[in-house]
Every structure is written in structure tokens, then in C-alpha cells.
Amino acid sequence: MRLKNPASLCAYASDASIYAIRPSEIIPVEFQNDVIEAILMAAKAGTSITARGAGTGLAGGALGDGIILDFGNYRKIRSIEPQLLSVHTEVGLIYDELNAALKDYNLFFPPDPSSGDSCQIGGMLANNSSGPRSVKYGLTSDFVEELEIVDSRGRLLPLKKLRLNSPELAEFLGRFPEYKAILNILQENAALINSSWPKLKKNSAGYNLYQVVRDLERGIFNLPALMAGSEGTLGIILTARLRLLPLPKELLTIRIYFKSLVAAGRAVEKILILEPSGLEIVDGSTLNLIGRQKHGIPEEAAALLLVEFDNDISLKRRDFEKLAANLDLAGVPEYADDPAQAAPLWKARKAIVPTLYRHHATRRPVALVEDVSLPPGEVPSFIEYITALFDRHNLTYGVFGHIGDGNLHLRPLFDLNDPADFRLAGEIYDQVYDKVIALGGGTTAEHADGRLRASLLKKMYGDRIYDIFVAIKKTLDPGGVFSPGSVISSEPFTAHIDYEKIKSYCAACGKCNGYCPAYDLFRREDMSARGWLRMINQSEAPREVLQDYLAWCLNCKNCTTVCPAGVDIAHEIIEYKSRQSGWMARQGASLADNEFLLGLSLKFGKILEPLTQSRATRKILGIVGKPFGLDENFPLPKIAGRSLRQRFSHRLAPTGEVAFFHGCADNLLQSNVGEAVFEVFEYYRIPLSIPEQKCCGLPYEVHGLKDSLLEKASFNIEHLNRFEAVITGCASCLLRLKEYAGLFKGTSTEKPAAILAAKCYDISQYLNLKGIDLSGLAGDKPVKITYHNPCHLRAAGLHREPEKLLGKLPGVEIIHPLYADRCCAQAGAYGFAHYPQSRQMFAAKKTVYEKINADYLMTSCPACQMKVRAEIKGNTRVVHPVEIIAERIKSAPGFRPGKE
Ligand SMILES: Cc1cc2nc3c(=O)[nH]c(=O)nc-3n(C[C@H](O)[C@H](O)[C@H](O)COP(=O)(O)OP(=O)(O)OC[C@H]3O[C@@H](n4cnc5c(N)ncnc54)[C@H](O)[C@@H]3O)c2cc1C
Ligand code: SF4
Ligand code: SF4
């Protein structure tokens, strides 16, 4: 496949850096031949080749004006060999996916970039990535055993660690003489490289020659280490054999505050002796920025340290307590040895990036000096220098990072569209890097040079080492086909800045892609949350073309939920769609709005229901529905004989204490949720009524029918506000009700909409708040309950309410499944319209649930229930959480059934 459509090219023109370059075409890699052919084609046409992983690189390395090789779909794990602590994988695999697969073997791949939920193994290898745990475990290059690459002549090469003087090396060098030339260059310059290389724990600047030279001294030509950190400029990596370690079983997190930076610096040296698996710092000015009061940070704290130990934690805690008794601390250390307790300790650290992104109308924490590496002893004085420099220029900034290995992230805010700020950014760039180099540091610890820091290499290493870099590049890529502009380049860092992109609140970090079900399926930037946002804002593609791409969005809101900068891509997509709704959507809406016609259609549908299950009818339905994207195999929802409102007409009330917003699915389709809700509320004597209500409006919204949405929202705001609280069993309805206020900004309806938002609850959340006592509801046997977390419940800020509630039932074991937060891919009618793709999106969850084989799988959304029910085989019953409680109530002594 080759993508040349302007909309696709627009998506691929950007990555997480400040740059944009429009490529000539994209080749999504599926087979190794795709790479070989692309390189031969590029050489012939005189165009460039740039490899792209997930595009989370901050230095623009994944951008190029020629062919982009997208590795997203080249992601099979070829083998896991637990006895050898080894994995062989294709490089498009996402870091977290690799570790999820290794978990079954109690193994893990340690280098852990913070972008691990979205970045790929290929990008990690090419940038020699690392992360918070590198203080204990080291960098990606320390774990690479073998690589398979394609070189600039289109040849496939196995790169291994080969002993000098071995027949294997002789044979390799005979076949690939350019590597003989490389070996000569390195051996001739070994002394120079050894003596002049900065002595740092982390260094991603330039080629990784120090490690290779050190291994040469041990008699090994470490060819994979030469490729690690080469940023796609020396060869294209296809597969990697990586070394693994046993998964640590425990984790101790400690948060401490210091009265001075110097005290923090001195403490770091002592803490390092205890071999922590993580050691992070946040400086005092950054603590001011995120809000001391809000995060409970002592006024006198000049720095915060987060320390982690992942082995022998009781022993480490004892040692740490002894050490802490002699430190000059502000406040007492806080300890956490389980993830739930540790999360609040990380809260202040994690608040930095979101705070910086939303801090100013036009200034952004652009990645310019974001990844410096220092000899650890120099860190405190460097922080003092840098904060004074930033303060002198009245800059707002964040200073934080992995102090254990001397890696600091500096994020001053600039508006590069403002000429004065642009000039200042250039000055700060020069001054920061000059200082770092003067202190014996490195311009980049883990994010690599790319286009951002290529021009600094000569300054950092000096002419002689730089000439070695150039010689290596010329030997392995004589035609300069790979990633021109990256690493070896004299272009200034200001070339190719995308001034439009950096105006946006979106940092283009790509985190949203890691959670986007469409990206998960297609693994292409033009089929992803970030790509779509860029296409909407910056592509000039015709509306019909963009609509075809955007039709794949599930409106799951996962992008919104995880975005550190608070960008609501799902909303942007809906807004774009709503500028032009389709004819079919408008006809569907007028049918649904006409009570008489809707009732008639449902009656008719009910009569025809047995017929619709027949193979022949399904075939006809498939043919008729094909133009609308319907598939003959999709599971049809079953229509209720009588609606919930008809069955519980005695509960209809215009006003009252608690209103049950049943939504359309639980009203019109076969469902036990309504009965169960009334059962439970009656048992706990909570008055519950059914209010006047209309559809929450979400189905209208996703089809671009904004007028219908507004009309329904106004109706619901007025009628639901007549109750003290509103509960719903549908996650999507809950989210839509809670977000009405955004639709009425600046109008008289905004306030009532906000009032409604504050009193809307998910049923489990409401019952948790009420503190209902479930201890008397013993079942007749122990049960296992697993769950699926609906995306819209998480988007509404609710993460663990059903598990919290059901965990209180006697005899219940809650089994936390892998991928609990992954979209089930039903998303209203999406699962019908894109049936095969929706099934593929669900496949990973299906395997997990079938393996767990629990008694119940609970989920608080009718659409999710329908999807999961249709997919999973076995004895697991798919229910709403409230149904499980209702069943226990029914079997409780003295139970009297209520009336329908
Ligand atoms: C919010 C955020 C946090 C981050 N945190 C960290 C961190 O903690 N530690 C860290 O090290 N980095 C971090 N990064 C930077 C980045 O995520 C990493 O460098 C990551 O490893 C890049 O992977 P990718 O798949 O996105 O690669 P891309 O950005 O797509 O590419 C990066 C480089 O790798 C090359 N490349 C990709 N695939 C191949 C291949 N198959 N063969 C040859 N070259 C290839 C590209 O040409 C490019 O030069 C962060 C970035 C963001 C946005
Ligand atoms: S929308 Fe948010 S998560 Fe997605 S790229 Fe932009 S800043 Fe990152
Ligand atoms: S709403 Fe879901 S499918 Fe749509 S862009 Fe966001 S994450 Fe992707």
C-alpha cells in the first residue's frame, strides 16, 4: 500500500516535535520486502527514506520530505524464550504491548520511556531511549542482543555482537566491507573516543560510539549498539532480539521534600548507594507553578524527590528511614507500597505537563532544551543557574527529571509566533546548551538529536569526534538517503518549525494515539486521534475526503480522557462533522423524533424479529444495508415487547427525590437493568421515579445533528432539574448529561446545565455515595466477577465505582482483567456499521475474558453489554452491576417482590 492522499500526507507531516515536513508518500510496512523495495526505489528516484515509529519523538527525527516508512503494522512478536531471557520482535510493537505480552512469563523489557504507552520498539532503538527506571537498569542499547536491518543499498543484514578475530566476524566483514571500514575507524580512534567522551549515565547525542569502543576493548564488535541511537540515519531496523529481566514483584514509592536544592543534591548521592529503581526531582519554582496548597506541598520546600525501590522493599525502607533521619527535610517522608497509595505521591509530578500546557493563552512549553544530561554531581548547581536564567527573563517554566542519572527536563514557555519570544527562545537555546556543555554534560539524555540538536553536535563533541560521525554516516549511507536533516546536518534548529501547530494547545505528543481504538486497529497516523486533529486543523483536503477518515472515529473519548493538555479531539471531530450532516442521518433523526412512527417501527420490528434471525433475511439485510455500512453478521439488538416506561408507568413522576434516566436502550430494548434498579432502590428505601426525558442526544450528536442535540438537551435540563439527583445505568447518557453545559456557553441555559451536571450519577457511584450496606446479601456460593470499564464512564471521571461497590458483596472475588479500559468497539451503532473491524478491535479483550471465565462480567453501559455478550463464549453472564445486587436481594431471606 502507498498513501499519497493530501489528507494522509498532512497527518504524516508532523510528529511530537515543533516541526512539520510534508512527505512525498507513505509506505505502511507489512513485509521486509516493502522496506527493501522502498530503499531501492528511493535511491533510483533520488528521494529520501525516513523511518517512522509512533511519531512521539520530540526532535523531528520521524519527519522527511521523501518516503516515510511507517512501522505501525510491523509488530509481531516472533518468539519469547523465557529460559534465555530473550524476545525476538518486529520493531513496530508498542513498548507497553511488549511488556504486556512478557507479563505472562514474569519478564519485562526494562528501558521505560514515559511515552511507553504509545512509542514503538523501533523508535526506542533508534533514539536509544530510556526512562525513570534507567537509573537502575540502563538504556535500550544495554538490552539489544541482535538486530536485523536493511542498509542503504537495500541489503538485509543481521547485526550481532561478534568476537574480534572470530570466523563469524571475518565472514560478516567479508560480505559487508563497509563495516570493516567502520571497525577500522573505531579502532584507530578508540583512545580519542575514550578520553573525550562526556562521562554521563545517559547520552543520546550523536552516534553511540563510546559503548562500541568499550566493547571493542573487551574483544567484541557490538554491531547492534552501533545502530542503537543512530536515529534511522545509518540503516532501517526491522527486528530486534532483546534481553529481558525477571519482573520485579514489589514497589516502594517514597516522596520527600527538601529545604534547599543543595540538600537535595547531597541526598541524591546517598540515596543512589541504596540502588533505587527510580529517582525523580521537581524543583521549587515548578512546585509553585502547580500550586503548593492544591498538592499539599510544604511552603518551605525547595525541591521534591520521588524515590522508588523495586526489590527487598522492607529492607530498603529500613535503610532509607535511617538515611532520612539525617537529612534536612521539609516535612516527613511519605511511603507507599501499593499502586493505589503510590498514585497520590506521583500526583504533583504528573500535574506539571498539563499545568504548563494550559498556563498561558499563547505561550507553550515547546521542546527546545527539554532533555539535558549532566554529571549527577552538577545537577543542583545547574538547576540554580537555570532557574535564575529563566527568572531573569520572566519566563514561566517547569524543571524536573530523572536526577538519579543526571537527566533534567527543562520546559520554559515561549510563543514562537511572537518575534520577541522567538528571539529569546534562540538565546535561551544557546545559553542552556553552552552551560550544559561547559559542565561536561550532553545536549540530550534520551530524546536524541533529530533536527532539533543536530547543529549542536560539533560544539558538544569537538571537530575530531564530529568528523568520525560524518565518516560513519558516509560509509554506511554514502548517498545520504536516510533521514537527511537528522543528526548529521548543518541546518539551524529553526528550519521547518510548524508555527501553526505550535499555536495549538495540542502538544502533538501522540499519547492519544496509544488509546485510540481506530489507531489500535489501523496503526496509521492518518487513522488516529492525533492525525485526525491535524487533518481537521491543517489539511486542505475536501470535506468529503475528511468525512471518510473521520467516519472511523468511535467517539469513545479515550483521546480526551488521557490527553495531558486537556484537548478534546472527540469534540473537535464531532464539531467538524456537525457542519454537514448526511441525508440518511437526518431521515433517521426525524423517524426517531416522531413518537408515533417510532412506536410503529418498533412494533413492526418486534413482529419481524424471529424472521430477522433467519440466514436468508440476514443476507437480504446485509445487501440492503451495505451502502450504509451494515453487515449481515452483526448481532441485532432485541426489541422489548413493552417499553420500560410502559412497564413501570406507576413510577412516572414530574418531580421527586431521585430520577432514573433510563436512556433509549434500557427503555426500548430487552434489558433487565430497569427492573434491577427499582429492586435495589426499593430494598434500600431510596425513592426513585422515572422523569419526563428525551434521548440524551449523543446519537444525534455523532451524526452531526446539532440542532436535535440542543433541543433534547434543553428538554432534559428542564425536566431533570426538578429532581434532587439523577441516576443512570448508561455510561454514555451520563457523560452526555454531564457535558450539556458546554453546549450552552454564554447563554441562560449554561447555569441550569451545570447544576444538572453536578447532580447526575452513575448508579454504582450513587450507591457508593449513599454507603449502602451490602454485607447482608450473601449468595449461595462464592462468585468471580470481572468487568469492562466503559470509555464514557472513564471520560466522566469514574474509574473504579462498580468494582468498589460489588467488592463489598460477601463471597465475591473481583478479577481485574488486562485491557479493562480498552474500548469494546460497539460505540452505539459503530459496531453494526463497521462490524468486522469492531470485532477485530475487541479481539484482545475477548481472549482475556474467555481465559478468566468468570461467573459475571459487569459493565455499566447497554451498548457495551450487547457487544460483550455477542462476543464472548463460555458461562460468563454479562450484566449491569446493579443486576448482581438485585439477584442477591431476591435470594435474601424475607424478600418480597415489587410490582412492575
Ligand atoms: C510525552 C513524551 C514523553 C517522552 N518521554 C520519554 C522518555 O521518558 N524517555 C525517552 O527516551 N523518550 C521519551 N520521549 C521521546 C520519544 O517518545 C522516544 O524517543 C520514543 O522512543 C520514540 O519512539 P517512536 O516510536 O515514537 O519513534 P518516532 O518518533 O516515530 O521516531 C524516532 C526516531 O526513530 C527512527 N525510527 C523509528 N523507527 C525506526 C526503524 N524501524 N528503523 C530505524 N529508525 C527508526 C525515526 O526515523 C526517528 O529518527 C517522550 C516523548 C513524549 C512526547
Ligand atoms: S490531543 Fe493531547 S494527547 Fe493527543 S497529541 Fe495532542 S496533546 Fe497529545
Ligand atoms: S474518540 Fe476514540 S476513536 Fe475517536 S479519535 Fe478519540 S480515541 Fe480515537
Kindly list the strands in the beta sheet with 856-858, ordered across the sheet, starting from the edge strand earlier in the chain: 812-815, 783-787, 856-858, 877-879
| Ligand 3 mean position, distance from CA 354 (Å) | 20
> How far apart are the C-alpha atoms of 695 and 565, rounded to whole Å?
31
Residues in contact with 534: Cβ distance below 8 Å, sequence separation at least 6, in sequence order = 10, 11, 13, 14, 501, 508
> Relative to the CA of 124, which ligand 1 atom is closest?
21
Distance 63 CA to ligand 1 centre (A): 12
Q: How far apart are CA 306 and CA 281, in angstroms?
A: 7
Q: What is the mean pLDDT of the chain?
A: 92
CA distance 449 to 487: 6
Evaluate: CB of 516 within 6 angstroms of ligand 2. Answer: no
Cα of 571 to ligand 3 centre, how many Å?
Answer: 10
Task: Name the residue among 17, 894, 8 with its Cα closest to residue 454.
Answer: 17
Instruction: Give the ligand at the shortest distance from the Cα of 527.
Output: 3
What is the C-alpha to C-alpha distance for residues 707 and 369, in angstroms, rounded to an integer?
47
pLDDT band at 349 (very low <50, low <70, confident <90, very high): confident
| Residues with a CB atom less than 6 Å from ligand 3 | 515-518, 529, 532, 553-559, 569-570
| CA atoms of 281 and 404, how far apart (whole Å) | 9
CA distance 378 to 372: 12
User: What is the tens place of the pLDDT at every residue in 380-416?
Assistant: 889 999 999 999 999 999 999 999 999 999 999 999 9
Tell me how crowded residue 31 is: count the other CB atoms within 10 A of its CB: 11
Q: What is the pLDDT of residues 767-787, one digit of tens each?
A: 999 999 999 998 888 999 999
Protein residue with its CA nearest to atom 8 in ligand 3 = 516
Q: How far apart are CA 118 and CA 15, in angstroms?
A: 12
Contact 470, 508 (CB under 8 A): no
What band does 703 get if pLDDT is binned at 50, 70 and 90? confident
Q: Please, what is the angle between helix 379-392 and helix 261-273, to 10°?
A: 150
* pLDDT for residue 624: 67
Nearest CA to ligand 2 atom 5: 508
pLDDT exceeds 80 at position 30: yes
- 638 pLDDT band, cuts 50/70/90, is confident
Is 11 within 8 Å of 525 (Cβ atoms)? yes
The reply to whether ligand 2 has any atom less than 6 angstroms from the CB of 861 is: no
Ligand 1 atom nearest the C-alpha of 232 is 44
Q: What is each CA distance from 411 to 131, 367, 414, 421, in whole angstroms?
A: 17, 7, 9, 14
Tell how many helices (H) and how many strands (E) occur in the chain. 42, 26
Q: Is the CB of 69 under 6 A from ligand 2?
A: no
Please state which of the ranges 579-588, 647-656, 697-706, 847-856 shows the lowest mean pLDDT: 579-588
Beta strand 278-283 pairing with 397-402:
antiparallel
Point out the least confidently predicted range of 192-201, 519-528, 596-605.
Answer: 596-605
| Confidence at residue 896, expressed as pLDDT on a 0 to 100 scale | 63
Scan for cell 417501527, then name that residue: 601
What's the one-letter identity of residue 119? C
Between the CA of 126 and the centroid of ligand 1 the distance, in Å, is: 7
- How, if at all, do strands 372-373 and 688-689 pair? unpaired
Q: Is the pLDDT of residue 734 over 80?
A: yes
Three-state secondary-structure class, residue 161:
strand
Judge whether 200 and 190 are in contact, CB under 8 Å.
no
pLDDT tens readout for residues 67-123: 999 999 999 999 999 999 999 999 999 999 999 999 999 999 999 999 999 999 999
Residue 744 is predicted with a pLDDT of 96
In 3-state terms the chain splits into helix, strand, coil percentages (rounded to 5) of 45, 15, 40
Task: Categorize the per-residue pLDDT at 788 as very low, low, confident or very high, splitting at 50, 70 and 90.
Answer: very high
897 φψ region: left (φ > 0), alpha (ψ -120 to 50), beta (else):
beta
Query: How remote is the CA of residue 96 from the centroid of ligand 1, in Å?
Result: 14
Whether the per-residue pLDDT at 740 is higher than 70: the answer is yes
Residue among 355, 366, 250, 263 nearest 308 (CA): 250
Please spell the DSSP secondary structure of 630-693, one letter per residue: --TTSPPPPBPSS-HHHHTGGGB-SSEEEEEE-HHHHHHB--SHHHHHHHHHHHTT--EEBPP-
14 C-alpha to center of ligand 1: Å? Answer: 13
User: Does the C-beta of 236 come closer than 6 Å to ligand 1?
Assistant: yes
Cβ of 54 below 6 Å from ligand 1:
yes
Residue-wise pLDDT for 274-327, tens only, equals 999 999 999 998 999 888 888 889 999 999 999 999 999 999 999 999 999 999
Q: Residue 299 and residue 292: Cα distance in Å, rounded?
A: 7
Pocket flag, ligand 1, residue 203 (CB < 6 Å)? no
- How far the first Cα of the chain sits from its last, in Å, is 58
C-alpha cell at 564: 495531558
Q: Which of 14, 442, 448, 27 is nearest to 233 (CA)?
A: 448
pTM comes to 0.92
Is the CB–ligand 2 distance for residue 514 below 6 Å?
no
483 lines ligand 1 (CB under 6 A): yes
Hey, what's the cell of 345? 505521591
Answer whether residue 555 shows pLDDT above 60: yes
CA of 123 to the centre of ligand 3 (A): 23
Would you place residue 649 in the very low, low, confident or very high pLDDT band (cuts 50, 70, 90)? very high
Q: In Å, what is the CA distance from 300 to each residue of 89, 273, 352?
A: 49, 27, 19
Taking CA atoms only, the protein residue closest to ligand 3 atom 4 is 553
User: What is the arrangement of strands in the sheet containing 67-70, beginning at the earlier edge strand?
Assistant: 25-28, 67-70, 49-52
CA torsion sign for 28, 32, 37, 43 is positive
Mutate to test the pocket of ligand 3, among 533, 536, 552, 553 (most ligand atoms within 8 A of CB): 553
Q: Whose CA is nearest to atom 7 of ligand 3?
A: 516
Q: What integer pLDDT is reported at residue 579 of this predicted model?
A: 76
Assigned C-alpha cell, 352: 506539571
Q: Which long-range contacts (CB under 8 A, 24 or more apart) does 162-169 make?
A: 162/220, 162/221, 162/223, 163/219, 163/220, 163/221, 164/216, 164/219, 164/220, 164/221, 165/219, 169/221
From residue 507, give the alpha-carbon distance in Å to each of 239, 353, 512, 518: 30, 10, 11, 20
With 60 as the cut, is the pLDDT of residue 900 above it? no
Position with higher pLDDT, 506 vs 628: 506
